[in-house]
């Protein structure tokens, strides 16, 4: 396994240990509201600090883009970090949350780590080397038809134009698909697409830390990731993912 991935795994496990230590006393955490349905807790901050400290012990000059601490440092290697993806689930003690770490090397997604500490599931990928779940190779599903596919999504956190755009998409995919799930963690949604658990995924207005690792996982598992208007999903946050056969009917349903 690549040395950067090994450090990323250590960092993700350090964050996971913090999450699990506090899971049975979430009522004692300090919680702030970033938006109507967007929360941040002490655990988010502590987990991100543990990740950054682990990275900088090994690579003190590497750049960081963290959900909580923002962007700092300049280097050809940048770590894109979501310390706790699925904070709302976590705060309700719903066991579906993770740490997501994407590593960009000279402008390209190079490595990915998504770690679910509750289920002890570790998803990893390196560009050109495939994707793994607990060190076993994973592949996207073989679903070919939308009406037989299980699709996962997440609604926009804010009301207004994005919700107005999303609701017709949801209606079309729901009518044309085999089933819809909304799990509350975009990073795990993409990891599950990579593992063939979900057949496809789409969402609007996500942040780089939500999807950087998941994009690489899906691609290295043989799948396709597209921005809804043909651009870069890391920049717009509008993303769809599926296997290479299903991506076109999924995109067609989203577009209407």
Other beta carbons within 10 angstroms of residue 71's beta carbon come to 12
DSSP bridge partners of 98? 85
98: confidence class by pLDDT, cuts 50, 70, 90? very high
Average pLDDT for 122-148: 97
23: confidence class by pLDDT, cuts 50, 70, 90? confident
241: confidence class by pLDDT, cuts 50, 70, 90? very high
Residue 27: pLDDT over 80: no
Q: Which domains does the chain have, with CATH numbers?
A: 3-137 (3.30.540.10), 146-255 (3.40.190.80)
Residue 35: pLDDT over 90: no
Residue 67: pLDDT over 80: yes
Binding residues: 67, 82, 84-85, 210
* pLDDT for the residue numbered 28: 66
236-250 CB burial, b ≥16 within 10 A, e <16: ebbbbbbbeebbebb
Average pLDDT for 55-63: 98
Residue 32: pLDDT over 70: no
pLDDT tens-digit readout, 138-161? 999 999 999 999 999 998 877 678
* pLDDT for the residue numbered 97: 97
Residue 128: pLDDT over 70: yes
162: confidence class by pLDDT, cuts 50, 70, 90? confident
Residue 37: pLDDT over 60: no
% of the chain with per-residue pLDDT over 90: 82
Residue 39: pLDDT over 60: no
% of the chain with per-residue pLDDT over 70: 94
* pLDDT for the residue numbered 24: 83
Average pLDDT for 131-140: 98
pTM: 0.94
| Close Cβ partners of 189 (under 8 Å, ≥ 6 residues apart) | 152, 153, 154, 183, 198, 201, 203, 214
Between the CA of residue 97 and those of 68, 92, 123, 168, 193, what are the distances in Å?
16, 11, 13, 28, 16
Average pLDDT for 101-110: 97
Binding residues for Mg(2+): 67, 82, 84-85, 210
Residue 136: pLDDT over 80: yes
* pLDDT for the residue numbered 34: 54
Other beta carbons within 10 angstroms of residue 191's beta carbon come to 32
Residue 120: pLDDT over 90: yes
């Amino acid at each position: 396994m690549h040395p950067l991935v090994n450090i990323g795994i250590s960092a993700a496990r350090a964050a996971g240990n913090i999450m699990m230590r506090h899971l049975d006393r979430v009522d004692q955490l300090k919680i702030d509201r970033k938006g109507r349905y967007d929360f941040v807790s002490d655990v988010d901050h502590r987990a991100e600090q543990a990740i950054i400290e682990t990275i900088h012990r090994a690579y003190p000059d590497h750049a960081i883009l963290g959900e909580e601490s923002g962007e700092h440092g300049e280097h050809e290697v940048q770590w894109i970090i979501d310390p706790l993806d699925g904070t709302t689930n976590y705060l309700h003690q719903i066991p579906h949350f993770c740490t997501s770490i994407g590593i960009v090397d000279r402008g390209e997604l190079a490595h990915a780590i998504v770690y679910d500490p509750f289920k002890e599931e570790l998803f990893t990928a390196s560009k050109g080397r495939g994707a793994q779940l607990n060190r076993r190779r994973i592949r996207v599903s073989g679903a070919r038809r939308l009406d037989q596919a299980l699709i996962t999504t997440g609604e926009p956190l804010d009301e207004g134009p994005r919700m107005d755009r999303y609701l017709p998409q949801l209606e079309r995919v729901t009518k044309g698909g085999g089933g819809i799930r909304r799990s509350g963690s975009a990073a795990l949604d993409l990891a599950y697409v990579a593992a063939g658990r979900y057949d496809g995924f789409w969402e609007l207005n996500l942040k780089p830390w939500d999807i950087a690792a998941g994009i690489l996982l899906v691609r290295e598992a043989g799948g396709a990731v597209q921005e809804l208007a043909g651009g870069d999903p890391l920049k717009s946050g509008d993303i769809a993912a599926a296997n290479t056969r299903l991506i076109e009917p999924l995109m067609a349903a989203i577009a209407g």
